[in-house]
Amino acid sequence: MAVPVILDCDPGHDDAFNILLAAAHPAVDLLAITTVAGNQTVEKTTLNARRVCAVAGIEGVPIAAGRSRPLHGAPLVGENIHGGSGLDGPGFGEGEPDVPQDQRDALTLIRDTLLAHPAPVTLVPTGPLTNVATFLLAHPELTHRIERIVLMGGSTGRGNTTPAAEFNILCDPEAADIVFSSGRPVTMFGLNATHQVRATPDVVSRIAALGTPLSRLCVRLLTYFTTAYREVYGLDAPPLHDPLTVAHLIDPSVVSLVRAAVTVELAGTYTRGATVVDLDGVTGRPANAEVGMEVDVPAFWDLIVEAVRVLGARTDRTPSAS
C-alpha cells in the first residue's frame, strides 16, 4: 500500500524535486503540501509550491501556507542558494499558477488531513521545523495519527550555514528540538547523507534527454542550483538534499540508517542549531532518531529521473503544457 504523506516544505530547488518525486511515484500517496518560511518568505514558498504543481500537472493536492517566522528570533532566508524568488532559474513569470492556495492555514490542513485519513500519516518536513513543532504543541491529541516524521535537516558532522549548523535546523533550532524530543519516530537525512547525491552534468543530461517541457524546466532549476553552489561553496555539482526523504519512503534500501541520540544545540556561542549526533553512544542518551548514512547514489538518481519522465509524459499530453 502507498505511504500516505504530508510534505511540509519551503521550495526551494531541492524541495521542488521532492514534490515531483512524491507526486509521481505510486509508492507514495501525497495527501497535502504545507509551506513554511525558509528558503524564502512563506508567501514565496507557497507560490513556488503552487507553481511546481502547476507545471507538473499535480492536481487535487491541497497546498496551505504555514508559519512566516521561527518560534524565536528573526527569520533567515536562503536567498544566496535559491535566489530572490526562492526558485530562481526557470523564470515562472508574473502570472498566477492554475493550482490554487488552500484557504486553510497549514496547521488546520495538517489536522484535517490526519483526521480524514483512515491510517496514520507520515510527515515529511524539508524546511525549518516551525509548522511541525507548532502542530505537535497545539495538537497533542493527534500525535498518534502521525506515523513518523521523515525530515531533511542537520548533519552528523559539519554544517552549511555556519560551520556547525545546517540551514533548516538553524532557521528554527527550538522547533527542531521539539520535533527530536517529541517521542514520535524521527528519521533524519542530514548533510552527511545528502552531500552524496550531487546533480552532476551526467544527471542533468539524463533529465535533459527526456525532452519534455517539464524536463527542460528541471534542467533550468538544476543549472541555477549548480551555479549557486559553485559560487557559495565552490562545489562542482549541487547536493539535491530534500528528495532523500521521499526516496527513503519509496525504497528504504536507498539510504542506510543507524539509530542514535540526536540533540539540538540551542545555546552555543558558535554552534547554535547544530545537531549533536551520538553515533558512538558515548553520552548514554537513548536513541531518539534514525539517521541516514550511506546512499545508493545510482538508485536515488534513477528515482528522480523516472519521476520527471512520468510527470513530463503526463503533462506533455495536456494542452496547457508549454
Q: What are the catalytic residues?
A: 241
For Ca ion, the closer CB: 12 or 238: 12
For residue 12, state whether it binds ligand BDR (rule: CB under 6 A). yes
For residue 15, state whether it binds ligand BDR (rule: CB under 6 A). yes
For residue 278, state whether it binds Ca ion (rule: CB under 5 A). no
How big is the chain by its Cα radius of gyration, in Å? Answer: 18
Q: C-beta of 91: minimal distance to Ca ion in Å?
A: 21
Assigned C-alpha cell, 310: 512520468
Binding window for ligand BDR (CB under 6 A); candidates: 49-57, 159-167, 172-180, 218-226: 159-167
Q: C-beta of 143: minimal distance to Ca ion in Å?
A: 23
Position among 127, 154, 238, 239 found at the interface with Ca ion (CB under 5 A): 127
For residue 86, state whether it binds Ca ion (rule: CB under 5 A). no
The entry of ligand BDR, Ca ion, none that residue 167 binds, CB within 5 to 8 Å by partner kind: ligand BDR
For residue 78, state whether it binds ligand BDR (rule: CB under 6 A). yes
Q: C-beta of 250: minimal distance to ligand BDR in Å?
A: 18
For ligand BDR, the closer CB: 4 or 78: 78
3-state secondary structure of 222: helix
For residue 159, state whether it binds Ca ion (rule: CB under 5 A). no
Q: C-beta of 8: minimal distance to Ca ion in Å?
A: 10
Region 240-269 residues binding Ca ion, contact defined as CB under 5 A = 242
Binding mask 10-39 for Ca ion (x = CB under 5 A): x-x--x------------------------
11, 56, 167, 256 from 310: Cα distances, Å? 21, 10, 31, 27
Residue 93: CB atoms within 10 A of its CB come to 8
Position among 39, 45, 245, 288 found at the interface with ligand BDR (CB under 6 A): 39
For Ca ion, the closer CB: 147 or 242: 242
DSSP H helical ranges for 38-144: 42-56, 79-82, 106-116, 130-138
Q: C-beta of 69: minimal distance to ligand BDR in Å?
A: 17
For ligand BDR, the closer CB: 62 or 128: 128
For ligand BDR, the closer CB: 166 or 278: 166
Assigned C-alpha cell, 10: 519551503
DSSP H helical ranges for the chain: 13-24, 42-56, 79-82, 106-116, 130-138, 167-171, 173-180, 191-194, 201-208, 213-233, 244-250, 297-316
For residue 154, state whether it binds Ca ion (rule: CB under 5 A). no
Q: C-beta of 8: minimal distance to ligand BDR in Å?
A: 11
Residue 189: CB atoms within 10 A of its CB come to 29
Binding mask 240-259 for ligand BDR (x = CB under 6 A): -xx-----------------
Contacts 24+ apart (CB under 8 A), 258-263: 258/290, 258/291, 258/293, 259/287, 259/289, 259/290, 259/291, 260/287, 260/289, 260/291, 261/285, 261/286, 261/287, 261/288, 261/289, 262/154, 262/180, 262/186, 262/188, 262/288, 262/289, 262/291, 263/177, 263/180
Beta bridge partners of 264: 275
Assigned C-alpha cell, 292: 541516514
Rounded to 5°, angle at Cα 22 from 315 and 215: 40
What residues line the site for Ca ion (CB under 5 A)?
A: 10, 12, 15, 126-127, 242
